[in-house]
Every structure is written in structure tokens, then in C-alpha cells.
Amino acid sequence: VKGNGALVALIPAIDIALTWRWRLLRLPALWVAALLTMAVVAPWYWLSFKISAGGFNYAPGFEYAWLALATNAQAIWANLGAAGVALALVGAASAFRTVEPGEARIARLALAVILATLVFQSIVPAAIEPRYISPLLPWLVVLIGLAILPLVRAAAAPALALAALGLAALVPAALNLATLPPKPDLHATSLGGAIVQLGGAWMVDGRAGGEGAVIAAAAYADKGDRHVWVARASQWLSTSDFMGRGYRLTAADPAAARALLDRIGVRGVISLAERNRYAYPHSHILYRAVAPGGYALLRIPFNTGSGTAFRAIRAVPIPPNVAFIEQHTGSANVARMSGKSP
């Protein structure tokens, strides 16, 4: 369940207000459904809120609400453009005029979802990201369709012109997609396979997406055998909260990093440099720790996108220091790997 799933709770309230169906508030079924939903999702939100709130980048209030609303409006404009926004407004008007009953009902539901998304994102100060308006975009397209439908029914314009009108609303989104840089192909599958083939303990470094991709690839290639260990460089060489705030090095220089690699019993290192830049300050320290010798070094350009995967394999393998890993990591997976937990 994503945090913004809570915006669903606003949809019935907004729909009732838009339709003036206040009598629904007297129906026991409405409140029973609300209570049952709360019973299912409230425990999860209670457990996860502290974690989620740690990632809030703003404070709630009018200033944040206005910033979020303005930014989200710009994101809508970027996705639909002038033609799309104008058509969506025309479609929204069908919620309040005499049209086919089914069309008016769909228009009101679309408006409820759109308003619920905007209100929720303006109240909860998680972050301001264009992707957070994703729940409302399909419903804007529905409103665009409702704007064109009467013209189709009345044969008010040639079919080709109506199709062009609809396509005009999709052009901005298509152009945005066409100009997006491709996701880098950083050889995660082959790097993960190499980790499993050579075995032992490995340290993986990179931005969250790349680091996670290599670790996931290694876990998949391991096929449940549990004979490889993968440590995240960001957890062993630095410290911060999960949003990267309060970042500081715990291995201040290459000598300290190299000593830590020896203590862990690291067999090899993989570091991902997107756009050929070190991911973090500790990434540069990690490279300088293995570069002087004792490791076979290899740089592998990404298949797609700009960047390089740096791989260092220890010349003389050493076994993982499981006791040291258990003592200095907070991961519950260590106990499972060492057979101390089912």
C-alpha cells in the first residue's frame, strides 16, 4: 500500500459534496465500509508512518499547500498542454449540466479523484514530485473523452478532425516521453551472476537504483542457495538517514576503507558511476582503497546510458567474516544467512 493510497478516503466525501447527496451520510453502510477499511489499512499506516515521515521534506501549512498546488498544476500542463487542459475543463462541465446520466456520473467521479489527489498532495508534505499526480492523469483523459463525445454523437465535425482533437491532448505527454533519457543498462544481470559465480562477500556501491539492481540480480542468480554475501557500501562506509540527510563518512580515507574490506572478508567490489561520476564521496574512497593493488580491476561501460561499472576482484580470496558482519550490521538477513534463523 502506497502512502498516497489514503487519498481514496477523500473521494467519497468530495463526490457527496459535488452531487449534494448529503442523505448518503445517514446510511449505516457508508460508515461500516469506512470502519472496515480503516481496520485493514490503519495498522499498516501506523507502523509505517514514522518511516515515511522521516522522508518528509517540507512542513505542513499554507505555504507548502500553495507550492504543491502550483507545482502539480504545472505538471498537469506539461502532460496535457493547452488543448488537453481546455478539453478536460469542457469535460468537467458535463458533471453539472444536463447530459446522459451515465456521463454526468463519470464526470463527477473523475472530478472527485482529481480533486482528492490535489488536496491530498497539498496537505501531506511528503515531497513535490510530478509522479505524485499519476492517480489523476487517467481521469483527466476521461474528461477529455467526455468533451469530445457530444461532438461525435452530433456529428459536428469530420471524424478525422475529432481524432486530431483528441490526439492534440496527448502530444505533450508523447513529446515528454520521447525526450526522456533512457534508463541506463548497467550490466546488473552479468554483475550479479559474477558475484554468485565467484562467491564470498561483495561490497556494492552506487545510487539506490543501481545498487539495488545489482543486489537483486545477485539474489536471483543465487537461487536461494545463500552462499554469497552482499554489503552496501553506503551502510558500511558512511551513515545518514534513508533520505541521505546527515551524511558523513565512517571510513574517512582509503586506508580505513581497505582495512574494513579486509575485516569483512570482501571477495570483490562493484561500484557504479552513472554519467561517469562517483555516486557518493565514499565511492571515491572505495575506489582509492582497491586501486593500489591486490585486486584485479575492470571498468565496464554501460550498455545503455552514460556510465561505467567498476569491478575489483581480490587476487587472493578470503572467507567472509560472518561474526564481524553479524556484529556490525542491522540487517535481519544475516541471521537467516548464517542459519541462526529459519
Model pLDDT, residue 341? 46
Question: CA 214, CA 219: separation in Å to the nearest integer?
Answer: 9
pLDDT of residue 1: 42
Cα gap 206→203, rounded to integer Å: 10
The pLDDT score that the predictor gives to residue 342 is 45
Q: Which of 159-173, 193-207, 210-224 is predicted least confidently? A: 159-173
Confidence of residue 300 (pLDDT cuts 50, 70, 90): very high
More confident residue, 264 or 104: 264
Q: What is the largest CA-CA distance in the chain?
A: 80
Pairing of strands 307-314, 295-301: antiparallel
Task: Specify the pTM.
Answer: 0.66
pLDDT digits (tens, 9 = 90+) for 156-196: 667 777 777 778 888 888 888 788 777 888 889 999 999 99
pLDDT tens, residue by residue, 39-68:
877 777 776 666 665 556 677 788 888 988
Please name which of 1, 245, 3, 2 lies closest in space to residue 124, comparing C-alpha atoms. 3
- pLDDT, mean of residues 108-113: 90
User: What is the sign of the dihedral through the CA atoms of 75, 79, 85 and 91?
Assistant: negative
Kindly report, residue by residue over 223-268, the tens digit of the pLDDT. Answer: 887 788 888 898 889 887 666 667 888 888 999 999 999 999 999 9
Burial class of residue 330 (count of CB atoms within 10 Å of its CB; 0-12, 13-18, 19+): exposed
Q: Mean of the pLDDT values across residues 299-307? A: 88
What was the pLDDT predicted at 262?
93
Q: Rounded mean pLDDT of the chain?
A: 83
How crowded is the C-beta side of 318, counted as CA atoms within 13 Å? 13
What percent of the chain shows pLDDT beyond 70?
87
State the average pLDDT over residues 282-298.
92
Give me the mean pLDDT over the 94-105 stretch.
Answer: 75
Q: Residue 7 — very low, low, confident or very high, per pLDDT cuts 50/70/90?
A: confident
Residue 246: alpha-carbon gap to chain centroid: 22
In tens, the pLDDT along 142-153 reads 998 888 887 777
